[in-house]
Structure 1
Amino acid sequence: MKYAEFPLKKTVNEGRVYEDSLSVEHFPRLKEAVHSVDSPIRFRIQGETNPLGQKEVKGNVAVDLSMICQRCLEPFQTKFDLPIHWIPVKDESEHDLIGDDEALLLVEGDEINLLELLEDEVLLTLPLVPKHDLNEDCDGKDYLEKLKPQEDKKQPFAELAELLKK
C-alpha cells in the first residue's frame, strides 16, 4: 500500500482498518532524532463515526527506541505505544464546531501522507531531555546524588548563631 497517498476519506467513510509494520527507512526524521530504532514501527488505523456523527480516525503507533541519556551519556531503551485520535476537517473554521480537546487533522484532499503523520506523533512524544527512569541504573544519577548537600556536614556558621543567641 502507498501510505504516502493514504485514502483517508475512504477509510473514514467506509470504516476501514489498516494494520502494518514498517521499517525505520520509511521514517527518516525519527531515525535521525534517536540513537537507534530497535523495532519496526507498528500501527493500526481505523476510520469510524462517533456518536455525534463526526468522522474520526482512531488507532495507535508503537515502536521500541534507544536514546542517549543526558545524565550518563549512555544509550537506554524505551517503548512507545501511542494512541491516535484524529478528527479530519477541511478548514480551520470547523474547529469551533468540534472543540478544543480534540486533535484536528487538517485535510485538503481525499488523501494524506500517513507516514509523515505517524512519524510526527512519535517525534512529538520524544522527551526534550532523554534520561533513564529513576529506578534504573545510571551513572549520572549517582553523580547527582553525590552533589546533593549532605545533612551531616557541619554548618560553618552554626556556632556563630549560637553565640548571637546569648
Structure 2
Amino acid sequence: MIKIMFVCHGNICRSPMAEFIMKKLACENGIGDDIYIASCAVSSEELGNPVYPPARAELAKHGISCSGKSAVQLKRSDYDSYDYFIGMDTSNIRGMNRIFGSDPEEKIYKLLTFAGRSDDVSDPWYSKDFTAAYNDILEGCRGLMAKLI
C-alpha cells in the first residue's frame, strides 16, 4: 500500500483539499483500496479545528466532502509510516525538514513538482482565492496520480 501525507501550515485549507481531491482521483482511477491518503500541519496553530469553511465550500462545488476532518500536526515518527510527504509550498518543505531532522529516503516533495512546476500552491488564507488553490492542487494531484499508476 502506498501512503501519502499532504502537508501545509495549519491543515485547514490546502493540505485537506489535497487529501480529499487525491482520494477522489484514487477512486476514479481504481486504486482507492491501494493507497492511504492523509494530511497534516507543520504548525500547532489550528490543531483540532475543522476544514476552513471556504475550503470546504470549494471542495463541495466539485462534489467532494471533507466532513469529519480536523487539523493534526506532523510528528517526527510519521517519517517511517509514509512513502510521500507532499508540501504545498517552500515553507512547508522547510517545516517538514525541521520536524524530521532530515530526509534520508527523499520522501519530501513540493506538490506542483508533479505538474512540472516549481512554484508554490496558491495560498487562499492570504489570497482568499480558493478556486486558484483548488486548481493548483488538482493539477499537482493529477501529476502525482500519473506517477503512481
Using CA pairs under 8 Å that are at least 6 residues apart, name the structure with larger relative contact order, 1 or 2: 2
In terms of Rg, which structure is larger?
Answer: 1
Determine which structure has the larger strand proportion and give its number: 1
Determine which structure has the larger helix proportion and give its number: 2
